[in-house]
Every structure is written in C-alpha cells, then in structure tokens.
Chains A and B, each alone.
Chain A
C-alpha cells in the first residue's frame, strides 16, 4: 500500500497521540491521580500504527497489558480511554475495566488483556468468524515477548495454520517480560524461526521504524485478506518505561531507555524521513503536536472532572439476561 501524504500525517498524528497520552499518564500516575496498574507503550508507537494503518474498523485486534497504543491506533475514543483509566462513568468500559481491559468491539478492539497470552485464541475466533461470514476482514493478535512463550500463543499459531485463518500475530519484543530478559526466556534462535515452524511466513523488523513495520504488516495483511493464511511479525522495540508504572527497572542497564529515546526514537525517525523526502514540512508536524497536546490536555481535564460510576453499577452487566 503506497502511503499518501495524508496517510503519513495520520500515522504521525496517531504515534504522537499515543506518546502524549502515555507521557501524561506517566505524570498523572506519579502524582497519585490514577489508581491500579498501568503499563505504558511509549517507545513502541510505530508497531501499533504501522500495523493499524492497514486495518479497517471491521478488522479485529486483540491486545495486551500494554494496550493503550493499540487502542488509540485502532480508533478507540481517546477521552473515553483516559476516563476509563481514571475509573469514570464516561470511560470506554464505564469504569469497570480500567487500563488493562480497555475494549471497544465496535471499533474492532477486542480488549487489552490482563492475561499474558489471552489474546491469540480470541483472534483465531475473530479470524474464523471473518472466514465463515465470507468477509475479507482479518484479525491481528498483538503479543509481547512474554506471551510469545505461552502455550496459548503456540496453540493459536498452529490452529491458524491448520484452519488457514486470516490471522496475523505481531510480537512486540521489547526485551523484557516483566523483569526477565527475552534473551533468557525465549528458548529459540528467534521468534520468526518459531513461527516458520508453525508453517507461516515470518518477518523480523525494527519496531521503531514505522516504515519497516508498515511494509511487513502490509504483506501479512494482504496475504490474510486473499485467503493465504496467517503470518507472524516480530517487532524489535524498546519500552521507555518499566513493565508497570512504579517499576524501578533495576534489571535494565542504566541509560538503556534514555539511549533509545535519544538515538532511535520512532517519532524522530519518522519526522526526519518525511520532512526530508515526503514533502512534509516540520511546521505541519508541529501543528499536529499542538493539536495532540490540546486533545490530551482536554482528555485529562475531562477525565478528572467526570463522575465516578453510580455505586449501584457494581452489580450490573454481569449477564445480558439472568
């Protein structure tokens, strides 16, 4: 898929929205404004956006603990997401899900997931539904390097091959499953080798490079839409914050995240490339930055002001009919 100027500006806007969203959640969490657990996606934006630029609303994704970026890229309403993280009645899940469970099935977002490896089986189901219904829709399971070792992931990759499903498995390998290094935990040469063992084509790309992700995802999604079955993409990437907010990250070498941010940041790389060769002016990106900052400011202000769910809501929505 050739990228138009509008596509590039949209990609930048989405990546910037994710970054700004996560930076603000980081600040607000540290200030004690947000309860519970949050897992930030800052640094990994190119993975979500590189994939999602190929998807329509009808395509489905399943996400991870670190799901804010996938939600934003898939089109979940940003103020509603922020409100959800604040536990408000106006949130995506009306305050019942929180950061780890943001979902919007109407937007094709089947949920962040608190269970590592929870998503791949669900995406086999979404892909099966597309196949049975005869649409050209696809399902994309985002997993981390942690979930890459879960049995559900292996089983789902096998099932996707056996049923020739329009499913894509995108592994965001940020080097650490919680506090354990991917190099320690993955008992194989590479994730791509593993995927090939399940009978599907696999690519390994620099997850900071929007264009690399976009190209690999384009090929995988094209195959899926044409009935050629599942694919696997490993995005090698760096997370700028800890596993969760509050993680002291003493398992990482000092300066690792800072170096990635300074030298290999997806937004900087993207901006450098499109201003050099795509006819986009820095001012256009600056305008987006300002608009995104205002969007996130507004989302935080409204989330803080929004009402908590009615206390009686704790008993509703367990069943449709009981």
Chain B
C-alpha cells in the first residue's frame, strides 16, 4: 500500500528492506551510525542528515562507522564487493571524491573489464550532491558527469521518493558498481511510495510532463525547477515536455531523442558547470541523432563555470532557477531562422 513519505525516508526504507532480505548487504561510512566508541548513545546521528537512522538497532554489526578515511573505506567496500558482500558505502559529500577517486575509477570500475569478465563488484556508493544549502565550494558540487565519464560505473540520481526507493533497491541488487547521487535539497520532498519492495530498472528516463512545444531534458533537483517553469509556461500557451533522465549511465538515449523529435525544440537543464557536462552530452546526442528534427538551436541552462559560492545572493544566481529555465524555453519556442 502506498503512503506519503519523504525521499529521505524512502532511502532509509530501501536500505532497511534490502538489509532484511540479504545478509550480505552492509552499510559503511562516516557516522552512518554515529557514536561508535563514544560514551553516549549509539545511532546518535544515523548519517549526517539521519538517512540511515534506526538501521543500527536492527542490523548491528552490519552498520559500520568508519574513521574519516574515504580512500580506505571506499576501497574496503570495493574489496568486500569483490569478496562476496554487497556493501553500500556512504561518501558523505560527493565533493569528497577527490580523496578516494582511485578506488572508484581505477579499481571498482575496471575490475570486470581488466580481469577479462571474471570479476563482479556489486558495490553502491551513496553520496550527497548539489547546491542551495549555503554549504559553499567543497560541499555543494554536482560532479555526476565525472563519474558518468567512467566506463564501468553506473550513475543514478533520483528525483522523487518513489524513484529513490526503487532505484536504490535496484542499485543494491545490481552486480555492477553504482554511484547513487542524493540531492541534499530533495531529502524532504514528499511523495507516494509503496510499502512493499520494488525496483526500477536503470536506463529508463521518465517523461514527467508531456507537451508538444519544447522539450526540457533535466536531472536531479533541476527536474523540479523545470516542472515549475513548465507550469508557468503553460499559462503562456507553451506546452513543455519535461524528461527526467533518472540515470546518466546507462543513459536512455531513445527517450531523449524521441522527445527532441517530437518537439524539435530543446532546453537542457543541469545544475553542474557547463563544460564536459551532462548538458553538453545530451546536446551532442541530440545534435548527432535528431538534427533533422531540430527547429531551433539547443539551449543549455547550467551553472556558470565557477566553483559554488557561499553567500546567498551569489549561490542563488549560480543555480539555474525556474525563471532562467522559462526564459530559455521562451527563446527556443520563439526561435525562427
């Protein structure tokens, strides 16, 4: 039976159900329990935002607090995955990948290929991303394009509580390494989620709003802002089709191209900086394979090519918002050669 819960609760429930179902699933990370070795309470934090709260009480030693040692524990998760477990490692902020990337992109991602198909590394790295919390340059980035670039990794970024649960269950059961991106601005998003376990296949984008005038291709938090813009534009007589990519690797090229061919006018919205980004990648895909259908140049709405600033007045400009998205859509909708 479905009921309304938050995205944070949906992630907790996915972990809970998979840990109950499969004793090889373990969770590790900095303060995923909180309180290890201290004199006060265990499960004091349940993750910095409480995403894993309560799991320690049920699963005990399968919930592992780590020292602040990302190279070692992400690598340990990879090694444990290659040794028969299904670890879910929490890289607290995706910005921290700088201190452990080798274990992800040179080890986990390459084992299967490098070892001639004779390795399985079913590891999940859950990680927070995204701006908007005034967390500044080293706790606010959206570095999913860096991971998407790496053959051997799968990259997932849920937008709704329903998707968060189903995609995380899929990630845990998946036999390839998965990077699971959680936008810190989406944890309190509410939505209907079935109580029972279910999984959502990777590589299936979601058309979250249908329309025939302009396609907005987006991902993560930007899907919400795109929907907000689409609502405004509908009042102006511009019907937008909004596509949530859901996974950037594998990428559902067909849904993207079908939408572009349907509307002939495309805006790509991405919270990350523009160079070598998901936005440019989607744009290139459409330019290569749906060129004949295009009636206007593809427009990209992205962050600028800068670090994420701290002060509110700066960060608010950094992140694409509904107004910028709507302006881009109007420009594309009104384009005539």
Contacts and interface: CB of A to CB of B under 8 A. Distances in A.
Q: Which of A139, A151, A320 has the most CB of B within 10 A?
A: A320
Contact of B77 (A91, A125, A158, A162): A125
Contacts of A320: 112, 120, 175-176
Interface in B269-312: none
A124 interface: yes
Contact of B67 (A101, A122, A159): A159
Nearest to B107: A118
Interface of B: 24, 26, 61-62, 64, 66-67, 69, 71-85, 87, 102-103, 106-107, 111-120, 151-152, 154, 174-176, 203, 250
A62 B79 contact: yes
Interface residues of A, number: 48
Q: Which of A97, A111, A316, A317 has the most CB of B within 10 A?
A: A317
B79 A124 contact: yes
B79 A123 contact: yes
A304 interface: no
B79 A101 contact: no
A125 B112 contact: no
Given A133-B84, A321-B176, A118 B114 contact: no
Contacts of B78: 121-122, 125
Q: Which 9 pairs across A and B sit closest by C-beta, in order of nearness? A: A121-B75, A125-B79, A94-B116, A122-B79, A155-B72, A93-B116, A125-B80, A317-B117, A129-B83
Contacts of A103: 111, 114-115, 118-119
A152 B72 CA distance: 6
Chain A interface main SS type: mixed
Contacts of A321: 174-176
9 contacts: A60-B83, A96-B116, A105-B115, A111-B115, A118-B107, A120-B72, A122-B75, A125-B85, A132-B85
Contact of B203 (A130, A159, A322): A322
A251 interface: no
A159 B69 contact: yes
Given A132-B26, A317-B116, A321-B175, A159 B72 contact: yes
Nearest to A98: B114
A110 interface: yes
B71 A152 contact: yes
B125 to A, nearest CB: 13
B69 A122 contact: no
B22 to A, nearest CB: 12
B75 A115 contact: no
B75 A156 contact: yes
Given A118-B107, A121-B73, 13 more contacts: A60-B83, A62-B79, A105-B82, A110-B82, A110-B83, A115-B106, A121-B79, A124-B73, A124-B79, A125-B77, A159-B67, A159-B72, A319-B152
Contact of A162 (B26, B67, B106): B67
